[in-house]
């Protein structure tokens, strides 16, 4: 058993890749954290704030594809930055709503 199993966590959140986070990828995190524990995060806040909606959609789909059958809440690494365009959040929701 790993430390997360021992302390009985349900979710590990705020996961992000460099330069703002410290995990190589969600796939790497999942290899270290049992699937019984939900992961949350992985979209860069800078990406969410500045990229066009189609890139948000494509990045979200790529993350989902990298973790098939994994328990995941796809979101920003931690929070949303002020000024994040609503259309970017809609693109994220749309990516999560489209069947895999």
Kindly report, residue by residue over 14-32, the tens digit of the pLDDT. 777 777 777 888 888 888 8
In the 8-state DSSP scheme, what is residue 4? H
- Residue 50: both structure tokens together: 């500045």
Parent domain of 54: 3-97
Number of domains comprising the chain: 1
- Tell me: the pLDDT tens digits for 65-78? 888 888 888 887 77
pTM of the model: 0.78
Q: State the Cα–Cα distance between residues 70 and 35, nearest whole angstrom.
A: 6
Model pLDDT, residue 58 = 95
Sheet of strand 38-43: strand arrangement: 11-15, 38-43, 72-76
């Amino acid at each position: 058993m790993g430390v997360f199993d021992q302390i009985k966590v349900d979710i590990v959140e705020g996961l992000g890749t460099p330069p703002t986070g410290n995990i190589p990828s969600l796939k790497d995190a999942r290899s270290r954290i049992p699937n019984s524990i939900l992961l949350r995060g992985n979209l860069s806040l800078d990406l969410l704030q500045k990229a066009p909606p189609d890139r948000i959609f494509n990045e979200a789909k790529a993350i989902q594809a990298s973790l098939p059958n994994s328990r995941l809440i796809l979101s920003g690494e931690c929070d949303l930055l002020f000024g994040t365009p609503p259309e970017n959040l809609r693109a994220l929701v749309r990516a999560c709503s489209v069947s895999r």
